[in-house]
Amino acid sequence: MTSTDESGADEVASIALRGRITVHTATPIWKSALETLARNPQRRVIVDASALEYIDSVGIALLFDLVRRERPPGAQVEIRDLAPNLAALVRGYDPKDFVQPGARRPHVGLVEQIGRAAASQLAYLQHLGSFLAQCGTGLRRSLFRGGSMRWGEVLEVATEAGANAVPIVLLVGFLMGVIIAFEIGLVAQKFGAVIFVVNGVGVAMLRELGPLMTAIVFAGRTGAAFAAQLGTQKVNEEVNAISTFGLDPIDFLVLPRLAAAMLVVPLLAVLADVVGLFGGALVMLGFGVGFLQFSVQLLSAVTAGDFLLGIVKAAVFGATIAAVGCERGLSTGAGAISVGLSTTSTVVTSIVLIVVIDGIFTVLTS
Amino acid sequence: MAAQSMQENDTEGVPPVISVRNLRMGYGTRVLLDNVSFEVRRGEIMVILGGSGSGKSSLMKTIIGLYTPMAGDILIGGRSIVSARGEERAQLQRQLGVMYQSGALFGSLNVLENVRFPLDQFSDLTLDEKNLAARMLLQQVEMGYAESLMPGELSGGMLKRAGIARAMALGCSILTLDEPSAGLDPITAANLDRTILSLRENLGFTFVVVTHELQSIFAIADRAVMLDPISRSIIAQGNPAHLRDHSDDPRVQQFFNRRPDASR
């Protein structure tokens, strides 16, 4: 048992420590000891450690906290009968080393915060632009100027990012077709214009939703994986090892992923288009439009241009996601936490950029 | 006056705090160590040594309860950590402070928060009190100046010293250190050895240290057990200097005298 108490003597208060003071028992003892000091601001305080059996690092901190406090002359705290090695340990700490710095972070106003955030985003976009330019140069060199694109790696990445993503893309694409057809169909039915739902589903799937939903799935699934892979390689200094072999990390790590993404996202978008239209056709059966009628109306409503626009968009989305994922991965700082941040940042940045690029495409092609 | 966490360096006749009895451990069906028995006495610095792949780190991880042995027993303060389950096992594990080879600091916390982490989890001290205790531990390992740095900003030696400070935070009396000197420059390694000796001297810790750094072994170890990957067991046990000077075993002589294999 451990206790603190005050003697009735005029000049001296005492704190008696008994038993064990450990991380598990220190809290009430510490509190009681500090209360004793507070109640006796003008009296000398003796800490009697003669009955102390065991003390751990928290107990040492308690003793040091008692003796380090500034008190008037004649009212100091004195520890008695502490084992010599522990007494030396407590004496070895300098109270000046534990003074808390008073300086706080300067206040930053709202306008300044917005300005700083905008500047940092601008700097990031600049950095991303320069990274994309490097990738473009590397891609040209690899494909046309006798460079060696690592096609084995491209196929490997394409299999993982493309073939393995087929089921989820099929599911999302099918559901998008169903939802669009159903929502538009309910409204069109009121105006007797059910047949034009086919036009809406066709244009929406081929020009917008097919590539867009595929890209969002790709960003969450593969963009994040790119960032995590390259980020871990950066943390493990594998990227440095590649550089010291005289290899360009962009050629070696980024370009295969970029090429694979530009290859598979359009293919996945085609699948999403097909199953989306099929989902729409299934819903239209419920509105009295058969498969044949659906296909005739669809062919009159959409053109090869709509389909190709969607495919081009999907390729651009794929390149954007791969570039963002690889750039975030290669910009990873030290430690596991940085890898996590890079992954999150990849998904958020990719989706924002996809939507912005989609908007630009829409404006340019309308 | 009662013994207040005091320590004598002469550990002859002192009761064991760790007893490893006829231990067999491995991975899957592959036996890595067999028939391993030794004791660590209170206040002793016991070194587990041996070449790469001899099972040093695996033995340490079995002692601290991370791996379950195939046979045998390990007693911590007389209680079996092998058969303990649930809270009893957690209690035994909390008696052992562990510094992992890489420091294993939490990447999202700064150095002070890392050292304070066990106190945050297991004590109801105020934040100021926990900070004071954590700062004093950092001073013990000469890391007071680095409390606000993140683990990613630390060198190898700093990571290890911060790892030791965190291992000490729960007031455990046994510290297990995995390769504390590996990859460090000679000055940093010597400083770390000094830190280990001063912690034993001042706070009475018992140490189990896994290492194959010869200078460090001779600087800190009271006793050593030497593992061998071929015989998969302990081939020598005793004071390292005594083993170097008096052991007849050629494997022990080869290790302490840094001789390459004859066949190469």
In a domain, B32, yes or no: yes
Angle at B114 between CA A103 and CA B142, to 5 degrees: 75
Is B235 a domain residue? yes
Same domain, B177 and B252: yes
The closest CB to that of B168, out of A51, A54, A57, belongs to: A57
Contact B122 A23 (CB under 8 A): yes
User: For the complex shown, is ipTM > 0.90?
Assistant: no
The B residues from 224 to 253 touching A (CB cutoff 8 Å) are none
User: Could you say which of B6, B170, B201 has the minimum Cβ distance to residue A23?
Assistant: B170
Are B14 and B8 in contact, with CB atoms under 8 Å apart? yes
User: Is B48 in contact with B55 (CB distance < 8 Å)?
Assistant: no
Choose the weakest-confidence range: A25-29, A138-142, B227-231: A138-142
- Does residue A293 carry a pLDDT above 80? yes
Amino acid at site B130: K
The confidence score (pLDDT) of residue B1 equals: 39
B206 pLDDT tier (thresholds 50, 70, 90): very high
**Cα dist. B102→B146, B159, B168, B169, B202 in Å?**
17, 7, 17, 18, 26
Picking from B142, B171, B200, the residue at the C-terminal end of a domain is B171
Final residue in a domain of this structure, among B171, B192, B219: B171
Q: Tens of pLDDT along B84-96?
A: 888 888 888 888 8
Hey, are the CB atoms on B129 and A336 less than 8 Å from each other? no
B35 and B163 together in one domain: no
CB pairs under 8 A between A and B: 106
Q: Is B102 on the interface with A (CB under 8 A)?
A: no
B23 and B150 assigned to the same domain: no
Q: What is the mean pLDDT of residues A23-33?
A: 89
Q: φ and ψ at B77, to 5 degrees?
A: 55, 35
Residues B88 and B190 both lie in one domain: yes
- In the predicted structure, residue B153 carries a pLDDT above the cut 60: yes
- What span, in angstroms and rounded, lies between the C-alpha atoms of B160 and B162? 5
Q: Say yes or no: B188 and B84 in one domain.
A: yes
Query: Is B11 a domain residue?
Result: no
Evaluate whether residue B239 is within a structural domain: yes
Mutual angle of helices A224-235 and A336-365, in 10-degree steps: 140
Task: With beta carbons under 8 A apart, name residues in chain A contacting B132.
Answer: 61, 64-65, 98
- Interchain pair A52, B2: CB under 8 A: yes
Instruction: Identify the band that residue A155 occupies on the pLDDT scale cut at 50, 70 and 90.
Output: very high
Question: Residue ranges of the domains in chain A?
Answer: 12-98, 112-365
CB contact under 8 A, A337 and B136: no
| Average pLDDT of span B72-76 | 93
Whether residues B193 and B148 fall in one domain = no
pLDDT band at A180; cut points 50, 70, 90: very high
Interatomic CA distance for residues A335 and B159, integer angstroms: 12
* Residues B152, A55: C-beta atoms closer than 8 Å: no
Beta B233-238 vs B223-228: how paired, if at all?
antiparallel
- Here the tokens at position A205 are 């799937």
Residues B183 and B53 in one domain: yes
For A140, the 3-state DSSP assignment is: helix
Q: Which CATH architecture has domain A12-98?
A: 2-Layer Sandwich (3.30)
> Could B119 and A50 be called an inter-chain contact, meaning their C-beta atoms sit closer than 8 Å?
no
Query: pLDDT confidence of B6, banded at 50, 70, 90?
Result: very low
Q: At residue B92, what are phi and psi to the nearest 5 degrees? A: -65, -40
Domain membership of residue B263 (yes or no) is no
Residues of B in contact with A22 (CB under 8 A): 171
Radius of gyration of chain A (CA): 35
A180-209 residues touching B, CB cutoff 8 A: none
| Interface residue A336 vs chain B (CB under 8 A) | yes
In this structure, the answer to whether residues B141 and B38 fall within a common structural domain is no
- What is d(CA A310, CA A305) in angstroms, rounded to the nearest whole number? 9
**B132/A98 touch (CB, cutoff 8 Å), yes or no:** yes
Q: Has residue B84 been placed in a domain? A: yes
* Mean pLDDT, range B45-50, rounded to an integer: 92
pLDDT of residue B44: 93
Clarify whether residues B163 and B179 are in a common domain.
no
Assess A95–B contact: CB distance below 8 Å, yes or no.
no
How many angstroms separate the CA atoms of B264 and B252, rounded? 18
**Confidence class of residue A285 from pLDDT cuts 50, 70 and 90?**
very high
Domain total in chain B: 2
Q: Is B202 on the interface with A (CB under 8 A)?
A: yes
**The pLDDT value given to residue A10:** 57
Q: Are residues B129 and B157 in the same domain?
A: yes
Judging by beta carbons within 10 Å of its beta carbon (0-12, 13-18, 19+), is residue A338 exposed, middle or buried? buried
pLDDT on residue A365? 86
Q: How far apart are CA A208 and CA A211, in angstroms?
A: 6
Residues B157 and B189 in one domain: no
The pLDDT assigned to A242 comes to 82
Instruction: Determine the residue of chain A that is closest to B170 in CA distance.
Output: A23
Any CB–CB contact under 8 A between A79 and chain B? no
Distance CA(B22)–CA(B16), nearest Å, equals: 16
**Is B133 close to A333, i.e. CB distance below 8 A?**
no
Q: Which residues form the domain of B65?
A: 16-95+172-256
**Residue A364: both structure tokens together:** 């340019």
Judge: A65–B132 Cβ closer than 8 Å, yes or no: yes
Instruction: State the pLDDT at residue B263.
Output: 55
Question: Which residue of chain B comes nearest to A58, CA vs CA?
Answer: B133
pTM above 0.90, yes or no: no
Cα(A330)–Cα(A320) distance, integer angstroms: 15
- Cα B202 to its chain centre, rounded Å, is 17
Tell me which residue of A346, A316, A317 sits closest to A329, measured CA to CA.
A346
Q: Can you say how many angstroms the Cα of residue B71 is from the centroid of all Cα atoms in its chain?
A: 22
